Structure 1
Amino acid sequence: MKKYFLRLIFLSLFGGIIMPVQAENVKPGTCHSYKIQGNKVIFDCEYNIQVQIEDVGSGILKIWYDTDGFKRNNESFAVIKKGDGNSHLNISEQPGSYEIYTGELIVRIEKSPFQIRVYDKYQKLLMEDFLDMGFVVDSTQMSSYKTLKPGEHIYGLGEKNGPLDRVGSRLKMWNSDKPCYSVNEDPLYKSIPFFMSSSGYGIFFDNTYKTTYDFGVESDNYYSFSTPGGEMEYYFIYGPTYKQIISGYTKLTGQPIMPPAWALGFAQCRGMLTNEQLTREIAKGYRDREIPCDIIYQDIGWTQNLQDFEWRDGNYENPAKMLSDLESEGFKVIVSQNPIISQTNKSQWHEADSLGYFATDVRSGKTYDMPWPWGGNCGVVDFSNPEVADWWGNYQQKVLDVGVRGFWTDMGEPAWSNEESFDRLSMKHHLGMHDEIHNVYGLIWDKIVTQQFEKHNPNTRIFQMTRAAFAGMQRYTFGWSGDAGNGNDVTDGWNQLAAQLPIALSAGMGGIPFWATDISGYCGDITDYGAMRELYVRWLQFGAFNPLSRIHHEGNNAVEPWLFGEEAEQIAKTTIELKYQLFPYIYTYAREAHDTGLPLMRALMLEYPDDPEAANLDSEFMFGEELLVAPVMEEGAAFKRIYLPEGEWLDFNDPANAFTGNQWIEYPVELETIPMFVKRGSIIPQMPVMQFIGEKADYPLLLSVFPAGINKSAKFEVYEDDGETNNYKSDIFVKRKIQCLAKRTGLEIGFKAIDSNGFRVRSRDLVYQVYMERKPTSVHLSDKKLKTFKVKKSENILPDTIEKAEWSWDEVSGACLIRIPASLVGEPIVIEK
């Protein structure tokens, strides 16, 4: 499409005479004819503009404007779903328009001036070009303008700052390294050009250049998306619900990979965590204090040279033994990668240079000389060169062979290539110039890291977390939000903490369900741990509900929980233990994220799209469908103002405390308080606290049951697989299905474990914790009346083994405890009032 600008802006065919055209607002004008090619229709318009509309299936349309035979410089980096070329599009022609019928959608195209409108099958207007501006070209860019309806809400664009509702915002896509970014700074590290409208559709703009999105800033009558190059090619994704739109985007760009089970535990890092002694000390600190932890990271300085994957001399005495020892204690070690080779790393640099594995400088034809924050100038590895893949894979495998369990791919913008870095545009990659490749550079790198990992370690689930990425990243990697926090005053990072919540929710709606913040904020020197205590605790309480929870800070600023005082340590321990207890619940939703693309942390408008209070609510979130979490993010807070949507909500910390929905409440908080609510009619699976995921393979399940109203059921399906392999992609798993039906006479509980594709199901004891208004008169297992037992004060309600079926009543919590040994778990339970 680049050729299009030169040809279209300066020339037009008018009456057989070539005449100059104004370099502004060139549009398709009048459509003269059309032709059908299977599932595509191509319209011929003025100025040699053609418009292709393709039925991709599942309510997805591809709309593409071009003048050069619909050719791309590169195939889409993001899209994997293709339409059925053997199908035949259904189109009818009217005197002034055409209509396309797909079964789910009606597309009406006005002939003159050319205009596209999309309706659902009931003739409800979903999206329309704004007047004749569905495609507009001037001397600098191509744009598409859409009507912005009164009251319309727009969400998305992935990991972005600002309010959840994008109406009133102008945003850019240009992966940028923004240390200690402000709460309104844009662009940031990732480019996810996908957004959703409350009118029932989403748009994925499949363009890798520095695109711009104006959602009603220029005018409240329209929004637009624009590009300086590449293709005007976008996908219309029908919902009509937000969840269905996200599912459609997932079908289009790929399913998220599932993390290893242990990745959903807690992780510890710091900028100078780059040596064996400190790594062992931190591991010992966690285990001695019995604070659960699964992962310890090694930051950039772990290598001898960037990026030779050699352990730094003097920092590591015996890396293989260190990794083996830590593994035996339940710790997995993740190391960083950078996408460059430092010039001080002479051997590897000359190797890559001689093989042509670096991006080149178009001005000289030689390797581009890239300044780098660490290790001096470097060469930028050209991952778009297919010959690089095996070369890089062999290097990264060196540390995997000795026990490293995964990578975090850092600085993949590549770093310091921000908007103002015009010189970087002189870089030439195998697949194109840097203006086209910049936004997908991190994605291409992450793809190679994952594919090479799987090549060398077959059927092993990868852990990879990345900073810079593009749409489709979910097929290869997970994400974190980069260098947040207040670098000028680390204790004054409250606004940065609060801003992380809408960033997390927007990321989740953009195909990044497995996401993390740097707990503590990353930026700023910590000189007074007491002064930092409250902010640290609040950041950790938020981070515990990130699917990936990592404590991390810059430099040699230690941020282990025990450094902030006894109170903070105990709160941190309790908070981290809560995440481990919720692991069966979290892992179930991790599977749902893989299947549907839906995030674990959900903006309330995903679950309550018709609630006006939820439309731009970014101070709380749904954690799955059953739990509402409203982390405290204000300094010195005594209350948290919380909105509860429709239904009845029970205080998860005190289930006897119930609230009616559709109201705001003032919830009292102390430093240790995490406001959490569970919707009545829910079942929350939990497990005993462990020091690391998988410490006890035969753990019992705790099923906290919050019964629904009379004649209604509470249901949950607890998902489980082996947690380590890619067998989940072949649907090898078990689902334990629990249902509690409420009747006037009492409750009926059913349980059934269903395996898929021969999964070897591990037997588990069960403990039901059923919250009731009063003590039951009796509990039956099948036809047998169960005996009662008393829970001792020091006794765990989840014992290691359960010998017999029995029940107890907890007067304080108002819960009926029922213990069922594994041999009896399938038998029905009746609780009589």
Structure 2
Amino acid sequence: MIRYKLWVWVLCLVFPTWVWAENETRTCTSFTQQGRQVTFHLADSAALQLQLCSSSVVKIWFSPDGQLQRRNASFAVINEELEEVGTIHVDEQAACYEIFTPKLRIRVNKSPMSLQIFDKYQKLLFSDYADKGHVSEGTKKVEYKVLRRDEHFFGLGEKAGKMDRRGESYKMWNSDKPCYSVVEDPLYKSIPFFMSNYRYGIFLDNTYKTEFKFGTESRDYYSFEAPNGEMVYYFIFGKDYKEIISQYVGLTGKPIMPPKWALGFAQCRGLLTSEKLSREIAEGYRKRGIPCDIIYQDIGWTEYLQDFEWRKGNYENPKKMLSDLKEMGFKVVVSQDPVIAQANKKQWEEADRLGYFVKDHTNGKSYDMPWPWGGNCGVVDFTLPAVADWWGTYQQKPIDDGISGFWTDMGEPAWSNEEQTERLVMKHHLGMHDEIHNVYGLTWDKVVKEQFEKRNPDRRVFQMTRAAYAGLQRYTFGWTGDSGNGDDVLQGWGQLANQIPVMLSAGLGLIPFSSCDITGYCGDIEDYPAMAELYTRWIQFGAFNPLSRIHHEGDNPVEPWLFGPEAEKNAKAAIELKYRLLPYIYTYAREAYDTGLPIMRPLFLEYPMDMETFSTDAQFLFGRELLVAPVVKKGARTKNVYLPEGTWIDYNNKQTVYTGEQWTTVDAPLSSVPMFVKQGSIIPTMPVMNYIHEKPVYPLTFEIFPAQEGAQAAFTLYEDEGENLGYQRHEFVKTPIICSTLANGYELTVFAREGKGYTVPGPRNLLFRIYSAKAPKEVTVKGKKIKKTKPERLEENLENDTETVAWSWDKEAGICSVRIPDKGVDEQLMITFK
């Protein structure tokens, strides 16, 4: 017996996770019930509470002491009653308790106590591992779950490395990681939500430095743990990833929509902090006809952090500058930091006197925070309610001057990474820093957004943030921070490649509107011709970021025309492509608001049963219809691409066709990004402009890639005012379009506009380009033949002549084009083959 105890003691020293043995076998002895909640009581005074948020979402709370009390309400979850669940019945059996819903069978085994969740067909979805499902040691709590041999995991928000998380471990601790590596963890944001291919998701609602280990300790289990706080998590079942995400949206809230102009291109650099430089960049874009909507001002736009006053000497007349740039079609976005510099004596003393700074727990004074810019600072305590109006008054000053938005930078807060344990003495109004750290940026972004909307009624906020927690989608958009190779900017190809899975994972974490720093941010650019190829490939990838911002550190200029004529031409082409696709992008922006689904999508989101898509980290879907495969290797002029089921058409030439469910190598010249459209798709486009809605009225072109005979291609165009909050009041219009492929031609139906509260701003034309291998004989509109004209004549005066009805056939390109005025009513077109 002595030898056995000694052997167990040795094993516990060697394998610390075996502390579960000291908890002895937990036995469930009884349960109590109140409304949606069923609490199971254990012999050791612990408790396991299950709350049915819906028939497929279960809140799970394990409490070692049985108290079931939270210090702070959830920062992320805003709704736990997703649907009516009726009367909950607990079926007690000799060995277990069971709860049935229309979608789930939930079992709590009595001894040893363990939790298992099955679908309604009795397939096991989720299970505690053996008798160590719920383990506690002091304040630390660990959940161990069964790991299947074929189980894969996706999510956790903005994380580096491969999208499939199996075999890796991750921490949640918002960290300032300049020039981060392609596998570095943790990064700037903490979103403890992941999904399994076993059709469930887990959201761990704990703000401490939680950790996820997806099979790194055993091939039989995975785990998630918290060093402190409550072990509260949500089990979310869905038939696929989309359904899981939609229920996560139900828990944590819908993403806000950006202003339409925010979906254009933006220009920035680290020292873009002057009126003179801003005007020069604006002139450079307009002179060359390269579309651009936004010019950013980085941290040095103010003399002091964070007084929101224009820096004297850098800006002669900021109001006039903003007015002049507005006339040119530019919006200006300025940075915020969440601190007050001690050198900013007046504001610092004001905040200190009012008690608006985070305190030093050791002395009760305002915490003295070293800061990367502007010297030591006080950290503003955004968890204190009184701070909101105070901050809102300050941030309104540049808004009144004419700026259009903010980017909230360094909200981790900066210089408080894992190794800086001295920061843990910070005390916020709502708790010590180890609890508040990961939500600090979230509380700041909440104040920025709510104060903006309070003082600027019915106007969409633009706020792009670096550090955040789950639920950020209610307040802000995101960017992926300081990527790139700081040692040698020309060796940043790996960082470029890594941004694809980083952004795709961000989208799965409910950051549908995000950007990377196009060019990578890090590294001095000393040889612009040598950088031209990498720059071009960054731009081509960045064109498919929902928010596209060119940005680099210091005084490294990164405007397209600096990298040589070829790079400028190729960059311009990529930027123009994004502007053409704006009607398509904006329609998916609305879908993101409605459903939480990102615009940039991993292939498995649309093809969940195709396991080959689990490892397609170098490509993505852009909406449902387009597949994009950016080139991310130096010198590469081909790209190995996986095309899922269906038939795919090369979007760059419209005539090359590929069969799906296989890998293929395609040409990838420096002038374009490999891009494919699925057969049976309709893609709405618009004319390229210097900036979004430079012309408020413009023709819409619908590229139609007909389905197979007997099938349909469909798209529903979404339109609204673009800058107000009408989208939340259902003030918009939608235009459904269906193209049916018949044995003898195509039937194209344009349905009457649906909706209210928004009116298309003027008469316009609709142009349909149908890519067809067969030549049409005639085209009718509402049964009447329309005239045929030459392709080059069809689009003449397309912006002004809204009376002409005609069609053309381009035999060489295989395009049948039809032009009709948009009257907002039902239209039926028949294209009949010869």
TM-score by length of 2: 0.96
Alpha-carbon contact 1:341-1:380 (below 8 Å) kept: yes
State the Cα deviation string for residues 537-562 of structure 1 (Å, max 9, x = none).
Answer: 00010000000000000000000000
Bigger CA drift: 462-471 or 124-133? 124-133
How far apart, in 1, do the equivalents of 2:331 and 2:824 lie? 36
Q: What CA distance in whole angstroms lies between the structure 2 residues aligned with 1:514 and 1:744?
A: 42
What is the alpha-carbon distance in structure 1 between the residues aligned to residue 641 and residue 776 of structure 2? 33
Shift of 1:824: 7.9
* 1:274-285 equivalent positions in 2, closer than 5 A: 274-285=273-284
Over 3 Å counting, the alpha-carbon distance change for 1:409 and 1:191 in structure 2 is same
Q: Which residue of 2 aligns with 1:10?
A: none
AA partner of residue 69 (structure 1): Q
More deviation, 749-758/522-531: 749-758
Name the residue aligned to 2:546. 547
Amino acid at match of 1:739: I
CA contact (8 A) 1:199 1:240 kept: no
102-111 or 437-446, which deviates more: 102-111
- d(CA) in 2 for partners of 1:729, 1:825: 25
Residues 257 and 594, structure 1, Cα contact 8 Å, conserved in 2: yes
Aligned to 2:619: 620
- 1:62 is aligned, of 46, 54, 59, to 59
1:409-462 CA-to-partner distances (Å, cap 9, x unmatched) read: 000000010000000000000000000000000000000000000000011001
1:773: which partner in 2?
Answer: 773
- Calculate the aligned-residue CA RMSD, in Å: 1.5
Q: 1:713 to 1:474 in 2, by over 3 A?
A: same
User: Relative to 1, partners in 2 of residues 1:108 and 1:798: Cα closer, same or farther, differing over 3 Å?
Assistant: farther
- The secondary structure found in structure 1 opposite 2:818 is strand
CA contact (8 A) 2:794 2:807 kept: no
Once residues 793 and 667 of structure 1 are traced to their aligned partners in structure 2, the CA distance between those partners, rounded to angstroms, is 34
SS at match of 1:204: strand
Q: What are the residue-to-residue correspondences of 1:60-99 with 2, within 5 Å? A: 60-66=57-63, 67-83=65-81, 87-99=86-98
Residue type at the aligned position of 1:818: V
Distance 2:264 2:388 in 1: 31
Aligned partner of residue 23 in structure 2, secondary structure: coil
Q: Is the 8 A contact 1:55 1:102 kept in 2?
A: no
State the shift of 1:58 in Å: 5.2
Residue in structure 2 matched with residue 129 of structure 1 by the alignment: 128
Tell me which residue corresponds to 2:643: 644
For 2:721, the equivalent position in structure 1 comes to 722
Residue 315 of structure 1 corresponds to which residue in structure 2? 314
Structure 1 position 422 matched with structure 2 position 413? no
Q: Tell me the equivalent position of 1:261.
A: 260
What runs of 5+ residues in structure 2 fail to find an aligned partner?
1-17
- Assess, with a 3 A threshold, how the Cα gap between structure 1 residues 51 and 346 changes in structure 2: closer, same or farther: same
Structure-2 change in CA distance of 1:368 and 1:652 (3 Å):
same
The number of aligned residues is: 813
Tell me the distance in 1 between the aligned counterparts of 2:160 and 2:24.
33
Q: Which amino acid aligns with 1:162?
A: G
- What are the equivalent positions in structure 2 for 1:418-497 lying under 5 Å apart? 418-497=417-496
Q: Which moved more, 1:169-178 or 1:50-59?
A: 50-59
Helix, strand or coil at the partner of 1:459: coil
SS in 2 for 1:179: coil
**How far did 1:793 drift?**
8.8
Q: Which residue of 2 aligns with 1:813?
A: 813
> What corresponds to 1:764 in structure 2?
764
Q: 2:168 aligned with 1:163, yes or no?
A: no
Deviation at 1:826, TM superposition (A): 3.0
CA distance in 2, matches of 1:49, 1:792: 77
Contact between 1:24 and 1:138, CA under 8 Å: does it hold in 2? no
- Distance in 2, matches of 1:687 and 1:412, equals 37
- Residue 612 (structure 1) shift: 1.9
1:272 is aligned with what amino acid? L
Query: What are the Cα deviations for residues 481-516 of structure 1, in whole angstroms up to 9, with x where unaligned?
Result: 000000010111000000000001100101100010
Aligned partner of 2:190 in structure 1 is: 191
What's 2:26 paired with?
A: 29
Q: Specify the code of the residue in structure 1 equivalent to 2:477.
A: F
Question: 1:755 offset after TM fit, Å?
Answer: 3.0
Q: Which amino acid aligns with 1:557?
A: N
Give the aligned partner of residue 108 of structure 1.
Answer: 107
2:234 corresponds to: 235
Kept in 2, the 8 Å contact 1:513–1:601? The answer is yes
Checking the alignment, whether the CA contact within 8 Å between 1:28 and 1:49 is kept in structure 2 is no
Q: Distance in 1 between matches of 2:644 and 2:823?
A: 40
How many Å apart are 1:784 and its aligned residue? Answer: 1.2
- How many angstroms apart in 1 are the aligned matches of 2:33 and 2:274? 64
Is the CA contact 2:764–2:799 (under 8 Å) kept in the aligned structure 1? no
> Partner amino acid for 1:48?
S
- Sort the Cα spacing of 1:444 and 1:552 in 2 relative to 1 into closer, same or farther, 3 A: same
* CA–CA separation in structure 1 for the residues paired with 2:639 and 2:822: 42
Structure 2 residue matching 1:779: 3-state secondary structure: strand
2:219 corresponds to which residue?
Answer: 220
Offset of residue 655 of structure 1: 1.2
After superposition, where does 1:478-557 map in structure 2 within 5 Å?
A: 478-557=477-556
* Residue 789 of structure 2: aligned partner: 789
C-alpha distance in structure 2 between counterparts of 1:410 and 1:684, whole Å: 36
Distance 1:429 1:796, change over 3 A: farther
In 2, the alpha carbon distance for the partners of 1:194 and 1:260 equals 27
- C-alpha deviations, 1:7-44, integer Å up to 9, x for none? xxxxxxxxxxxxxx978653670000001101110010
Q: Is the 8 A contact 1:766 1:820 kept in 2?
A: yes
Asked if the contact 1:779–1:830 (Cα under 8 Å) also holds between the matched residues in 2, the reply is yes
Alpha carbons 2:753, 2:824 under 8 Å: kept: no
Asked if 1 retains the 8 angstrom alpha-carbon contact of 2:809 and 2:817, the reply is yes
The Cα of 1:88 is off from its aligned counterpart by 2.8
In 1: Cα distance, 2:168 partner to 2:674 partner: 31
1:754 deviates by 3.1
Q: Find the counterpart in structure 1 of residue 581 from structure 2.
A: 582
TM-score by length of 1: 0.96
Contact 1:357 1:382 in 2 (8 A): yes
Cα distance, 1:329 vs. partner?
A: 1.1
2:700–2:767 Cα contact (<8 Å) kept:
yes
The Cα of 1:294 is off from its aligned counterpart by: 0.4
Q: What is the CA-CA distance between 1:225 and the residue it aligns to?
A: 0.2
Distance 1:354 1:85, change over 3 A: farther
- Whether the 8 Å contact between 2:463 and 2:477 is mirrored in structure 1 is yes
Q: Secondary structure at the match of 2:723?
A: coil
SS in 1 for 2:655: strand
Letter in 1 for 2:775: K
> Distance in 1 between the 2:796 and 2:671 partners?
22
CA distance in 2, matches of 1:795, 1:680: 25
Percent sequence identity is 59
Shift of 1:745: 1.1
Counterpart-to-counterpart distance in 1, 2:796 and 2:357? 59
Corresponding residue of 1:180? 179
CA distance in structure 1 between the partners assigned to 2:590 and 2:261 by the alignment? 14
Q: Amino acid of the residue matched to residue 780 of structure 2?
A: H
Looking at structure 2, the residues matched to 719 and 480 of structure 1 have their Cα atoms a distance apart, in angstroms, of 25
Does the 8 Å contact 1:28/1:46 carry over to 2? no
Residue segments in structure 1 that go unaligned for 5+ positions in a row: 1-20
